[in-house]
Amino acid sequence: MTERQQERLKKERERAHRRQLRLQRLLFAGTLLCLAAAGLFLWAPWKKPDQTSGIPEAKEPVRGSESESRSVDSSPSDALPDGWLQIRLSEQACSEGTLVLVNRDYPFDPSLPRTVSVYENKTESYLVKDMILSVREDAMTALNRWMDDFAAETGKTDVNIVAGWRSYQDQVQLYENAVATKGQAHADAYLALPGHSEHHTGLAADLDTYDVQNGTSGGFDGDGAYAWAVEHAWEYGFIQRYPPQKSNITGINYESWHFRYVGLPHAWIMKTENLCLEEYVAELRNHPFSGEHLYTACQGKSYELYYCPKDRVIVPADGNYFISGNNVDGYIITICGSE
């Protein structure tokens, strides 16, 4: 190769290198643009429901970790009707939301959830056992409204919250203490096996009543003035989780004091249809996306619900809706209609 040829080759290589650099820069900029567009696209359909309607908690639960872990499914989703979108959620998302079913068959992911201190967030309408007790934020808001209305209605401000979120270690200790002091049969009738406690979700609260004169706290039986709190619990998204007639299904004896936040319209449907959570989660499977959706209305709002298995989650491309995992095999999508 002559010197001139070598020189030309060198220049060609340099030009090629510069072209490659330009291409890389373009690709990088394109990727950034795509990511930004995808971010906007993903954010939009997860708009939270209108918070100004004044009805009890019809929101739920687009929380940080979930929204970061979801993505639009790019695989061709077999002929979805217009206005619907298939999304992919992380494995953990199935254990997030107000409809998670936790019982002796279905344990709860110990890394969840995030909770807030009841002591620091509560109103003056009720009491709390200590400064440590915590519940999930959505349950906290609903609890305040429930107890405020109960106090306004009855003049009673002595409901005492004695249990909320319970860690795995606390569950072990409680269970072992119950076995030691009251026997295995009692422990199994009233307590969940460690890892299977609904208190772990941060969505459950045990109510007590506090006797100011004696300085003692006694069981909440839901009688007398307290019947109002039981009767109206659904309006705030709460259910009495272990009703007496359902203990063969829930696996837990009647607990007049244990309330669970599921949100609206779910508490309303469960109450009117007389379903415990096990039955409700099973019933929702009868309403898949491709089948007949469930329509309901309460507190002046309309709702559309359907079930999606884990591997095929379909949501409206637009509009207000929220997703809850069932902690078993899929998700419940609740679309909030107009008032």
Nearer to Zn ion, 70 or 166 (CB): 166
CA 301 vs. chain centroid, Å, equals 20
3-state SS class at 74: coil
The position carrying tokens 């203490």 is: 177
CB of 192 to Zn ion, least distance (A): 9
Nearer to Zn ion, 60 or 198 (CB): 198
Helix, strand, coil in percent for the chain, rounding step 5: 40, 20, 40
CB of 259 to Zn ion, least distance (A): 8
Peptide bond connecting 265 to the previous residue in cis, omega within 30 degrees of 0: yes
Using CB under 5 A, which of the segments 10-18, 73-81, 82-90, 198-206 binds Zn ion? 198-206
Nearer to Zn ion, 165 or 322 (CB): 165
Nearer to Zn ion, 251 or 319 (CB): 251
d(CA 207, CA 264): 21
Buried b (16+ CB within 10 A) or exposed e, 123-160: eebbbbbeeebbbbbbbbbbbbbbbbbbbeeeebbbbb
Q: Counting contacts by CB under 5 A, is residue 206 touching Zn ion?
A: yes
- Residue 41: which region, alpha, beta or left (left: phi > 0; alpha: psi -120 to 50)? alpha
CB of 243 to Zn ion, least distance (A): 14
User: Which residues on adjacent β-strands are paired with residue 325?
Assistant: 331
Nearer to Zn ion, 59 or 241 (CB): 241
Residues in the chain: 339
Using CB under 5 A, which of the segments 71-79, 127-135, 142-150, 202-210 binds Zn ion? 202-210
Using CB under 5 A, which of the segments 16-24, 180-188, 225-233, 250-258 binds Zn ion? 250-258
CB of 320 to Zn ion, least distance (A): 32
Using CB under 5 A, which of the segments 86-94, 184-192, 205-213, 306-314 binds Zn ion? 205-213
CB of 85 to Zn ion, least distance (A): 38
The position carrying tokens 């959620």 is: 89
Nearest to 266 by CA among 209, 333, 191, 192: 333
CB of 163 to Zn ion, least distance (A): 5
CB of 310 to Zn ion, least distance (A): 28
Which residue from 258, 260, 266, 301 is in contact with Zn ion, where contact means CB under 5 A?
258
**Both structure tokens of 66:** 């979930």
Using CB under 5 A, which of the segments 26-34, 168-176, 258-266, 270-278 binds Zn ion? 258-266
Peptide bond connecting 244 to the previous residue in cis, omega within 30 degrees of 0: no
- Residue 203's Cβ-count burial label (10 Å; 0-12, 13-18, 19+) is buried
Q: Counting contacts by CB under 5 A, is residue 208 touching Zn ion?
A: no
The position carrying tokens 């007639």 is: 245
Using CB under 5 A, which of the segments 165-173, 176-184, 200-208, 245-253 binds Zn ion? 200-208
Nearer to Zn ion, 122 or 258 (CB): 258
**Both structure tokens of 290:** 């491709």
CB of 105 to Zn ion, least distance (A): 18
Question: Which residue number places its CB atom closest to Zn ion?
Answer: 258
Q: Tell me, what amino acid is at 30?
A: G
3-state SS class at 268: helix
DSSP 104-126: SSS---TT----EEHHHH--TTS
Nearer to Zn ion, 258 or 266 (CB): 258
Nearer to Zn ion, 45 or 222 (CB): 222
Using CB under 5 A, which of the segments 23-31, 251-259, 268-276, 300-308 binds Zn ion? 251-259
Measured from the Cβ of residue 68, the count of other Cβ atoms closer than 10 Å reads 10
CB of 207 to Zn ion, least distance (A): 9
Residues that bind Zn ion (CB under 5 A): 206, 258
